[in-house]
């Protein structure tokens, strides 16, 4: 069975870690651990060959020439030898005469810089592919779950896009748009951070929901605790923070102001993963706005008074027309189809908007 794109992304990330590990001074048992990792599946071998071949083929500059331009040129060299020879595969490093541990440490900076520069410009073949595969998105009406390399899970709601940026020091997720629920694996040494246009949320071993709306970010904590900064990613590190515990919620506006007790309750954020939409006396305008997240063609309310109609119930988000079936029982609601694919909700002439 071929691995999913998420699983292959995880394996590719692990392969890159092994490659860089062997550029340094590996631990005594590293080769045994690496052999065990390789034998887990053919995909592990394929991904390690891919990253090691790309690395071996780059014509890295000499130690005294490792300018940014030289490193980028090495990564982009179209004439580089991309064939990995057997004797290159994890071969022991040859030590030059007179080179001790001190000489080895002098070689480390340019190796690390090369990896950093290549990653930052996306010029390396293998790092470029990993970056593309670390972007996850859903279409309108689609939901999916993503398993990350650290054991954490991301549940993506409709029309959502997230981008992962994994380093040895931090696990960073950027929520570009939409809504996601994060189930975080504990790691005291690598904080788990979610960034939106308006906020930075940091957690260790917890479950929380984040929705990036137009003009605000809404956070709801299901389990554990999170720290919320009301600033954009560029300045959130020094911004005031609010700590939220299980059951707490908050909204962060575009100006960075944190508003406690605003946002969807736990019942609602827990329900969408099961494809349920829960409303408790919500105005029809809010209900329609929520349903439109799952519809290609939107519902339109043509009457201000009708928009105030209070709705209570549990609906199936995979059936965008379930709301229409419910509204058809209201004498005050008329459903019109103008022919352009949209559906309009109007008030029946002479009717009252009071709930049936």
Distance (Å, whole) CA 231 – CA 319: 37
Question: Given pLDDT bands bounded at 50, 70 and 90, which one contains residue 88?
Answer: very low
- Grade residue 175 by pLDDT with cuts at 50, 70 and 90: very high
Name the nearest CA neighbour of 318 among 157, 187, 171, 179.
Answer: 157
Domain residue spans of the chain? 5-132, 135-263, 275-347
The CATH number assigned to the domain with range 135-263 reads 2.60.120.1440
pLDDT of res. 210: 97
- 210-265: pLDDT as tens digits: 999 988 999 999 999 999 998 654 454 556 789 999 999 999 998 888 999 998 89
- Element at 265 (helix H, strand E): none
For the segment 128-136, the average pLDDT, to the nearest whole number, is 56
Among 47-51, 70-74, 90-94, 194-198, whose mean pLDDT is lowest?
90-94
Contact 178, 138 (CB under 8 A): yes
What's domain 275-347's architecture? 3-Layer(bab) Sandwich (3.55)
Q: What DSSP string describes 176-226?
A: EEEEEEEEPPP-TTS-EEEE-SS-EEEESS-EEEEEEETTEEEEEEEESEE
Contacts of 55 (CB under 8 A, 6+ apart): 19, 124, 126
Residue 130: pLDDT band (50, 70, 90) is very low
Give the C-alpha separation, 261 to 94, whole Å. 62
- Residue 172's pLDDT is 92
Per-residue confidence band for 114, with pLDDT thresholds at 50, 70 and 90: very low
């Amino acid at each position: 069975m071929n691995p999913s794109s998420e699983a292959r992304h995880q394996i590719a990330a692990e392969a890159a870690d092994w490659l860089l590990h062997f550029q340094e001074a590996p631990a005594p048992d590293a080769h045994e651990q690496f052999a065990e990792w390789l034998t887990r599946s053919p995909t592990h071998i394929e991904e390690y060959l891919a990253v090691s071949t790309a690395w071996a083929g780059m014509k890295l500059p000499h130690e005294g020439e490792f300018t940014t331009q030289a490193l980028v040129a090495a990564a982009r060299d179209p004439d580089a030898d991309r064939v990995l020879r057997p004797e290159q595969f994890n071969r022991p490093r040859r030590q030059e005469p007179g080179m001790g541990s001190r000489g080895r440490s002098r070689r480390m900076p340019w190796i690390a810089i090369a990896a950093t520069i290549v990653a930052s410009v996306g010029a390396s073949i293998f790092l470029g592919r990993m970056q593309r595969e670390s972007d996850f998105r859903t279409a309108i009406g689609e939901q999916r779950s993503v398993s990350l390399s650290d054991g954490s899970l991301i549940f993506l709601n409709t029309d959502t896009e997230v981008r992962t940026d994994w380093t040895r020091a931090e696990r960073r997720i950027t929520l570009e748009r939409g809504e996601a629920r994060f189930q975080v694996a504990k790691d005291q040494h690598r904080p788990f951070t979610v960034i939106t246009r308006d906020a930075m949320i940091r957690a260790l071993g917890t479950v929380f929901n984040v929705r990036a709306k137009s003009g605000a970010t809404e956070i709801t904590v299901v389990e554990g605790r999170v720290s919320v900064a009301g600033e954009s990613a560029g300045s959130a590190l020094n911004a005031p923070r609010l700590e939220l515990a299980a059951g707490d919620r908050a909204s962060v506006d575009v100006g960075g102001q944190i508003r406690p007790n605003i946002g969807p309750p736990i019942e609602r954020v827990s329900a969408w993963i099961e494809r349920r939409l829960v409303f408790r006396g919500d105005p029809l305008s809010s209900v329609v706005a929520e349903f439109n997240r799952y519809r290609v063609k939107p519902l339109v309310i043509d009457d201000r008074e009708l928009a105030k109609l209070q709705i209570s119930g549990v609906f199936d988000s995979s059936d965008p027309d379930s709301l229409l079936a419910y509204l058809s029982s209201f004498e005050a609601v008329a459903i019109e189809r103008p022919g352009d694919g949209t559906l309009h909700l109007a008030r029946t002439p002479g009717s009252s908007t009071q709930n049936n």
